[in-house]
Structure 1
Amino acid sequence: MNPWAALSALCVGFFLIMMDTTIVSVAIPGMLADLDTDLNRVTWVNSVYLLTYAAPLLVTGRLGDHLGRKPVFLAGMAVFTAASLWCGLSGSVEMLIAARAVQGVGAALMAPQSMAFITTLFPENRRGAALGVWGAVAGVATVVGPLLGGLLVDSAGWQWIFLLNVPIGIAGLLMTVRMVPGGQPRNSRRFDVLGTLLSGLGLLALVFGLQNGQYYDWGVVRGPVTVTGVLVAAAVLLAAFLWWQRHNSREPLLPLSLFRVRNFSAAAVATACIGFSLTGFYLPLTLVLQPVAGLSPREAGLMLAPMAVAGGVAGPLAGTLSDRISGKWVVLAGFLVFAAGIGMLAAVSEEGVEPWLLAVVLFVCGTGSGSAFAPLANVAMRGAPPALLGAASGAYNSLRQVGCVIGSAAASVLLQARLSASGYASAEDATAGLPDGPGAGAFRAALADASSATLLMLAAVLLAGAVACLAMVSPQRVAAGAPAAAGREEEAPVRAGGGPGDRGPDTTGA
């Protein structure tokens, strides 16, 4: 069994997951025309995917521990691929929203398994390089989404941003069946039903409230239900979930002993911070590239290429470096470079900025985000008990996704607030183009100012993530300080096609 071949199969699914979080935005105008609908409904095409992807991650991560990671990953890939076909064939916005919801569930089944699998495929001294590739795939996919989406929408129609997933998904299924080992012990202990309900409903309410608060103007959703009420309900449900996890002596959905591993706790905070900044980054960036700098949508998409290339190169290099020196310093450097890149973009965001300067700044941003995102997963998972890898991966991915949702909402709110303070109602017209009248220059200046303020907020959150990185410790101290209670469960090695207890491949030469 070649672990790198197995990783390539896992990365196919993870690439599709992350690409589909950003690819839809460029297809909105085409959907509005073809589906004869309004902007409010079309926004749900992306919101519902993020909702059904983020909410079940704790549960799906634990399912991998119980049922085996390969069957859960394959089920997720099959659901995602079938739902992508459904999306591409949808003839109404309601059907498209339903299909995207199912697609999000498939993504939630895959994501934790891909990350947890890497920790069993590779020995600890080679794991950073593998997780670096995994992290780089995520970073590149989110940038490639708008670029590839723009090309597909212009040449073939919005349906092809979904239909393209089908052959790739089928190839990923075949690769996973053939290349990814399948043996893994299953345990028959009681599944945490109450914890599943509390976490699922709590995360659902939290993501719904944050993702759609702006849509409902932070007021009434329907009848007596308000956005504030939904967020309060989310806080109560999640507090009840944590209380139950502490008192559930059988098998909690989220073993809180994970957070006694210092690096996991620090990485959990850091991943929420980078998720916040990376997702919130695209709204002000789009406004800087198009209305402020005056680039066309296609030119703006091409401007993302330096960021994608830098992230794709920096991720694996940073992951490999984290195997040789303490990952703490690699991640910290990535956070600081990414924050510096965003700060530079805020400084040059003004009408008439040169495209080459934007390209240089985006290259710096890509280098920083790739260097931070990729080895962070290695730091998080090192020291996690083998039998709890699915739970650890689910928690890590959940916190990142919650950070993404909060970042998206915060960027939108701050941008709107700054525009309102400048005398403008919203930025909706900015993405469609600006008038050529005498007020256009003033509006561009206000938009540049609002975008700069939003970017500085994102840089500040990255600096908070850098502080969390300082709390990380060396791998030697992690091994010495891992909690004994958390390490009581053991997981047998795995091999392709094997059953419980099968001895796995020798991956020491991976």
Structure 2
Amino acid sequence: MAAVPSKKKQYQIIGVLGLFSLLTALAGSSTNLALPRIAIDLHVASSTATWIVQVALITTTILLVMFGHLGDLLSKNLVFTAGGLLFTFGSLLTGVAFDIVTMLVGRFIQAIGAAMVMANSMGIVTENFSDQNRAEALAAIAMFVSVGSISGPALGGLIMSFTSWRWIFLLNVPLGIIGAVIGYRVLPLPHWHWQDIRTATAGANWTGQNLFTLGIILFFLSGSIFQNGLSRWPLGLGLLVVGTALTAWAFVQDDRAKKPWLAPSLARNHNFIVSVVLLGLAMLVNAVSNILLPFYLQSFGGMSPLGSGLIMVLQDATMLLITPLVGWLADHWDRTKLTMVGLAVLVVSQLGYITFPATITLWRIIPPIVLNGIGMGLFLTPNNAITMGVVAPELTGVAGSFNSFSRTLGMTMGISLGSALLFLQLPGVRQITPALGAHFMHAFAVVFWIATAISFIALIVVAWRAWRTPKQSTN
């Protein structure tokens, strides 16, 4: 690892990484809140509107590992800065979209930029911070993510109360330009020529990337088929099986390639793999509530976008409040035990969602949302520190991107699973309304029973890891 920068330089780096982390989180959380209104304005079904979120997450999932590897081969700073510019352009196109196709194209471009940013953020932190203060730096980045997630529902609800939802996306444009300018000044960029880039990437495993891309697309298309009922279940099952097989084969093929995207030493690093799997499971569970709560609060409960945004903001506000403490604890206490406590709280929160009433009652719906934030806050920072602390310095770019890949894959699967399971139980329903009554509430509860089971499985895995290595320090 290169010499650690001065404190001033480190603060500047955190500021740049944090700003784009804030913007990407802002885009995701505000879009979730706006889905009911966007579905009405663009004249699409509620189930179709969820693809506005899914297309961005799927794109990010597909490209994360590739951009992390390119960051290692070329320059993490270069890929990160270029990603910020693409994210900004995608936000502009999404904000002016007047049909669902243009909206999806804009979200696709926005997601490419987000993948470039996310894939290299953790690697940049690892290159510029020592192990003694890396967890606190990662916690600072997590705070920016929390602020973005908090600002999304609150700002999105406020915007939709007074003007069009389009400004949720258009506000990212000036902020993205400011971030790109600051990034250009703070993060040194290499003077690459096109021939240098071609030489550095020569022999990259594009076959594996193409297999992975096709597999992920087919995998998530199967969820769209199941959302529309069981009439075409053979097609949905076929896409699911083929997509899963192609995705699995992509990793096998990559492991045998001369220049793999994922370094073989990472694929065989037990602690690394367990940590990223746990992250994926936690993010899957967290995404289920993020996609279903707007429909419960607005479409079914009749709450205004601003009111529902203020309620949903409690989860990320809680994460923000506890993250500094968790960052300090992760540098001074057993990180595995912290993740165990976090997942236990997450299990309790999912059980709380099951008890949501048909008529919105604040004292019954707020505690599970707050507990969800506490659980995720206790889990994320120590798990990220464990993940990045067990890899070699020269692999931090691809390791960070694979960690972000697992995070995004979990979110994508959570949104796909949550929406597919909900609408599968509501065949023929285009829009969620209060008239669905007990039918909707039963479907809502079933989805969260499954989320509870998944979070409990993650807790068992953490407990197994703690039992298996009781004397091994995780700091």
Do the structures match in fold with TM over 0.5?
Answer: yes
Matching of residues 306-385 of structure 1 within 5 Å:
306-347=314-355, 349-352=356-359, 354-385=361-392
Q: Deviations over 1:239-294 (max 9, x none)?
A: 3222223322x321112321333321211121111111011112443455457766
Q: Deviations over 1:289-348 (max 9, x none)?
A: 45776644432221123222211112232122111112111111111112212223323x
Q: Is the 8 A contact 2:157 2:307 kept in 1?
A: no
Matching of residues 104-253 of structure 1 within 5 Å:
104-182=111-189, 188=200, 190-210=203-223, 212-217=224-229, 226-248=235-257, 250-253=258-261
Distance 1:426 1:284, change over 3 A: farther
Paired residue for 2:3? none
Residues 263-272 or 72-81, more deviating: 263-272
SS of residue matched to 2:343: helix
Residues 408-417 or 8-17, more deviating: 408-417
Task: Tell me the distance in 2 between the aligned counterparts of 1:287 and 1:115.
Answer: 33
Distance 1:358 1:216, change over 3 A: closer
Residue type at the aligned position of 1:100:
R
Distance 1:80 1:446, change over 3 A: same
Q: Is the 8 A contact 1:22 1:146 kept in 2?
A: yes
Task: Tell me the distance in 1 between the aligned counterparts of 2:125 and 2:171.
Answer: 26
Shift of 1:37: 5.9
Matching of residues 23-62 of structure 1 within 5 Å:
23-28=30-35, 30-31=37-38, 35=42, 42-62=49-69
Q: Which has the larger radius of gyration?
A: 1
Task: Tell me the distance in 2 between the aligned counterparts of 1:409 and 1:353.
Answer: 25
Task: Tell me the distance in 2 between the aligned counterparts of 1:366 and 1:43.
Answer: 23
Task: Tell me the distance in 2 between the aligned counterparts of 1:35 and 1:445.
Answer: 28
Q: Deviations over 1:136-184 (max 9, x none)?
A: 4334534542332222222221221111000110111122122235479
SS of residue matched to 1:226: helix
Q: Within the alignment, does 1:302 sit opposite 2:295 as a pair?
A: no
Q: Deviations over 1:34-69 (max 9, x none)?
A: 556666764443332222222111211111111110
Residues 182-191 or 231-240, more deviating: 182-191
Task: Tell me the distance in 2 between the aligned counterparts of 1:444 and 1:8.
Answer: 47
Count of aligned pairs: 459
Q: Is the 8 A contact 1:19 1:144 kept in 2?
A: yes
Task: Tell me the distance in 2 between the aligned counterparts of 1:131 and 1:30.
Answer: 35
Distance 1:219 1:478, change over 3 A: farther
Distance 1:219 1:454, change over 3 A: same
- Structure 2 unmatched ranges of 5 or more: 1-5
Shift of 1:352: 4.5
Paired residue for 1:506? none
Find the partner of 1:461 among 454, 457, 460: 454
Residue type at the aligned position of 2:335:
G
Task: Tell me the distance in 2 between the aligned counterparts of 1:368 and 1:274.
Answer: 9
Task: Tell me the distance in 1 between the aligned counterparts of 2:206 and 2:298.
Answer: 48
Q: Deviations over 1:448-496 (max 9, x none)?
A: 33323322321221121122223155896579xxxxxxxxxxxxxxxxx
Distance 1:403 1:44, change over 3 A: closer
- Structure 1 unmatched ranges of 5 or more: 436-442, 480-510
Task: Tell me the distance in 2 between the aligned counterparts of 1:123 and 1:385.
Answer: 13
Residue type at the aligned position of 1:259:
A
Matching of residues 80-95 of structure 1 within 5 Å:
80-95=87-102
Q: Is the 8 A contact 2:18 2:141 kept in 1?
A: yes
Find the partner of 1:69 among 54, 64, 76: 76
TM norm structure 2: 0.86
Q: Within the alignment, does 1:268 sit opposite 2:289 as a pair?
A: no
Q: Deviations over 1:412-448 (max 9, x none)?
A: 343345xx4xxx6466543xx424xxxxxxx534433
Shift of 1:389: 1.4
Task: Tell me the distance in 2 between the aligned counterparts of 1:322 and 1:411.
Answer: 31
Residue type at the aligned position of 1:315:
T
Q: Is the 8 A contact 2:330 2:381 kept in 1?
A: no
Task: Tell me the distance in 1 between the aligned counterparts of 2:387 and 2:32.
Answer: 31
Q: Within the alignment, does 1:386 sit opposite 2:393 as a pair?
A: yes
Task: Tell me the distance in 2 between the aligned counterparts of 1:39 and 1:450.
Answer: 15
